[in-house]
Amino acid sequence: MKKVTIITIAGGSASGKTTFAQTLSDKIFKKHSVTHFSMDNYYKDFSDLKLEEREKLNFDHPKSLDIELICKHLDDLLKFKPIKVPLYDFKNHCQSGEYKIIEPSEVVILDGILALQIDEIRKKSDIKIFIRTDDDIRFIRRLQRDVNERGRTLDNVINHYLSTVRPMYKFFVEPSIEHADIIVPYYEGNVIAMDLVAAKINLLLSNK
């Protein structure tokens, strides 16, 4: 059976985790096959609740995630089996009922704000990365994303950030940095950090 390396990338909301993961995938892909998917698609389905009720839920708490399914999918990828990743509907705060097939590969990259906070996921990880981005930059990026891509209002984004996103970051996400093997100060165009991390990972994979 082929050896699969799992890389987990954590960091606050809108810290640049997905961008970093995609760039890292491109750099690793030159030498190894890579699969990348996000914990954002594994929120539990709250379609039984009204939309206004779903909008008030705390999606930054570990209990909002289907951790059991995430771990099962990681185990399947470790066995070199394909997985069906659920596609989450962020505008309506529920599962869409649609899926995307992810094929197995030598390297699996999983990103999520709680990727290093959840013990079951952390134990399956070979390389753990934390993306550290200034709070104001993360808020601005989240504001732009949620308004432009997810149909949220300015007041909705601000209230949500103050009531759940910021306190959950301080309580769950930020402390998980102590579990990271690599801490990356992220900003747009930080090519040096990406190149260094990719080079180190390629070296570790080659040695394996």
User: pLDDT per residue over 80-110, tens digit each?
Assistant: 999 999 999 988 889 999 999 999 999 999 9
Percent of the chain with pLDDT over 90: 64
Q: Give, as one character, the DSSP assignment of residue 43.
A: B
Residue 23: band (very low, low, confident or very high) from pLDDT cuts 50, 70, 90? confident
Enumerate the β-bridge partners of residue 35.
108
The predicted structure's pLDDT at residue 56: 86
The predicted structure's pLDDT at residue 205: 77
Residue 40: pLDDT over 80:
yes
Q: For the domain 5-198, what is the CATH superfamily, name and number?
A: P-loop containing nucleotide triphosphate hydrolases (3.40.50.300)
Residue 118: band (very low, low, confident or very high) from pLDDT cuts 50, 70, 90? very high
The predicted structure's pLDDT at residue 6: 94
Domain ranges of the chain: 5-198
Smallest Cα–Cα separation from 135: which of 50, 11, 23?
A: 11
Q: What angle do CA 106, 70, 204 make, to 5 degrees?
A: 30
β-sheet with 127-132: strand ranges across: 34-38, 107-111, 5-11, 127-132, 182-185
Residue 195: pLDDT over 70:
yes
The predicted structure's pLDDT at residue 138: 92
The predicted structure's pLDDT at residue 93: 86
Residue 186: band (very low, low, confident or very high) from pLDDT cuts 50, 70, 90? confident
pTM value?
0.91
The predicted structure's pLDDT at residue 203: 83
Q: What angle do CA 165, 69, 90 make, to 5 degrees?
A: 40
Residue 189: band (very low, low, confident or very high) from pLDDT cuts 50, 70, 90? low
Taking the CA atoms of residue 101, residue 12, residue 22 and residue 182 in that order, the dihedral angle to the nearest 10 degrees is -120
The predicted structure's pLDDT at residue 156: 87
The number of beta carbons lying within 10 Å of the beta carbon of residue 180 is 21
Distant-in-sequence, close-in-space partners of 130: CB < 8 Å, separation ≥ 6: 9, 10, 11, 116, 176, 177, 179, 180, 182, 183, 184
Instruction: Please provide residue 87's backbone torsions phi and psi, each rounded to the nearest 5 degrees.
Output: -105, 115
The predicted structure's pLDDT at residue 30: 74
The predicted structure's pLDDT at residue 178: 97
Q: What angle do CA 191, 195, 200 make, to 5 degrees?
A: 155
Residue pLDDT, tens place only, 46-83: 889 998 898 888 999 999 999 999 999 999 999 999 99
